[in-house]
Amino acid sequence: MTNRLTQASSPYLRQHKDNPVHWYEWGAEAFADARASNKPILLSVGYSACHWCHVMAHDCFEDQEVADKMNSMFINVKVDREERPDVDAIYMDSVQALTGRGGWPMTVFCTPEGEPFYGGTYFPKESFLKLMDAIDDVWKNKQSDVRQNVEALLEVIGRTNKIEPVAHADFSELIQSTVGELQKNFDTTWGGFGKAPKFPSTFAIDLLIREHCRVQDPLLRVMAETSLDAMAAGGIYDHLGGGFARYSVDDIWLVPHFEKMLYDQALLVRAYLHAWQEFSEERHLQVVKETVAYVLSQMTHSDGGFYSAEDADSLNELGHSEEGAFYTWTTSEVRDVLGDDAGLALDWWGITEDGNFEGRSIPHRLRERGNIARSSTLEKLRQELFAYRSSRPRPGLDNKVLLEWNAMFLSSLCEVALATQDAHIKSAALKNAHFLVQYMRYPNGFWARSWQSDASPQAQHNAISHDLAHLIDAMTRMYELTQDSYWISIATSVAEQLIDEFWDPINGGLFTVGNSSEELVVRQKDLMDNATASANSAGALALIRLSQLTKDEKWEDYARRILLLLARVHASAPSAFCNAMIAASCLTTTDRDE
């Protein structure tokens, strides 16, 4: 028995290749060995930029005592949630049903057929050792309890494929109820919706901007700009290098989890661009340009693909891995770099002796939200600090290229290039679009979800519905940017594949996994928008746009059927359907007024 992750395509899985755990990748070999040995599967799911994933890896998976117990009791399977969101979603629903919460790292115990029966998130070493003993006892001596849990969980996690559409929907009313829900949860002081931890809520902000464009309600502008200005002023924004961290642990956007994800850059660029287009405030365009520049300089393959993420952790001055080490400062460090000019920089970016994060300071502009534009003197100081920071060990880079996230950022690039007439950004968009077509499509015409330069083959894992939905959107925007009909032909062929592979002929809507792909324990539909759009809302929006550009009404008919399905569950959590409501707002006026 050995660790089988050495040849994995995922950089995250390869981080675990030297663990004493006998890891398998997700696949037939693991399930066959579990059946042959009658051992349960211990499924561990995480991703490369996840701080607590690294913590559990160090505490548990690198520990020989823990590994010995894992190897003796279980078949251990490691999954990168970014490569296999279809797998992640099934077992995350199980954990949330069992515990009322979710997150990563995620640990799920399954039968040899992959059926979940218990799970949780982060476990420290001693708790994990006790848990494994308890699971081993249940598996060997209480199989009736296992089956009871399995049947209950399969019912919960399979519920989305049983939801029926409504016959008719007043989409204008649904949009207004969503906006009303956002108003109730809006933080009037610091923006965003709800309490900490705070995520960017880009779809909510974008919906508010779009509705402001339609009705010119000043409250909608206040909600959007308060959120955008607070985020751009907070520590969640990288004031020296551009780009956003994934979320803030506090109400005021000051202290982030420092990982930077490509999808956040894509969605935040879009929200700030739309704010600039609607409100004509240059500070919003500044954030757009700086965030795009960050991705193009730090997260781009030489052939044009965009990398997935940068870690939260990096090496500090003592050579120890530490969250946020790359981004934080002490006053003495700033003085060493800037000399007599340090006082201006310390004041501008709020860097103090006491610090705001474990004795160090995260640069921010929270004292003067809405004022991030720098004078020529401050810009010179920023460049000097940036140059010094660039000599520090960078956070780890997850250099896999994901079709979904690349298509999201490509869509944003197309919008920025068209709105600003920036030739450099247009060139980057063209390069990425050609990269996706060249490298992420199999010879049989099917698309791959993931590409990694060191993997063999480089393109792996069948695309899921999320990938194709965003790819349609990106290709339509490439057509708008270039007026080259090649891109609309690609969009149309992708749409045909999306419907052929993922459409539910009974209830409508898109399954996550295609007809030709691996059969999982349940076949789910992704319905609610989260940090990224649901496959169904993204598909609806993309198909509406394709219909309007090609004048082929069948695509809008599919989109309308998706929205009628989402309307069935909208009332359960209106603010979880903001991107769906953006799609609904793009339907014809007659459709929206039904």
What do you get for the CA distance between the two ends of the chain, in Å?
62
Q: Which amino acid is it at 530?
A: N
Q: In 3D, which of 85, 392, 61 has the Cα closest to residue 241?
A: 392
CA dihedral (573, 578, 579, 583) positive or negative: positive
Model pLDDT, residue 590: 40
Domain map of the chain by residue range? 11-157, 166-187+465-594, 314-389
Match 């935040």 to its residue by tokens.
Answer: 268
The answer to whether 11-157 and 166-187+465-594 have equal CATH topology is no
Model pLDDT, residue 588: 59
In this prediction, the residues of the chain whose per-residue pLDDT falls under 70 are: 1, 588-594
All residues at 6 or more sequence positions from 443 whose CB lies less than 8 Å from its CB, including other chains: none
Which pLDDT tens digit goes with each residue over 33-71? Answer: 999 999 999 999 999 988 899 999 999 999 999 999 999
Model pLDDT, residue 320: 84
Taking the CA atoms of residue 487, residue 285, residue 544 and residue 460 in that order, the dihedral angle to the nearest 10 degrees is 50
Question: What's the CATH class of domain 166-187+465-594?
Answer: mainly alpha
Question: What's the CATH class of domain 11-157?
Answer: alpha beta
pTM: 0.96
Match 């290229």 to its residue by tokens.
Answer: 401
Model pLDDT, residue 318: 77
Give yes or no for a contact between 210 and 221, defined as CB atoms under 8 angstroms apart: no
Model pLDDT, residue 49: 87
Can you tell me the distance from the alpha carbon of 46 to that of 23, in angstroms, rounded to the nearest whole number? 14
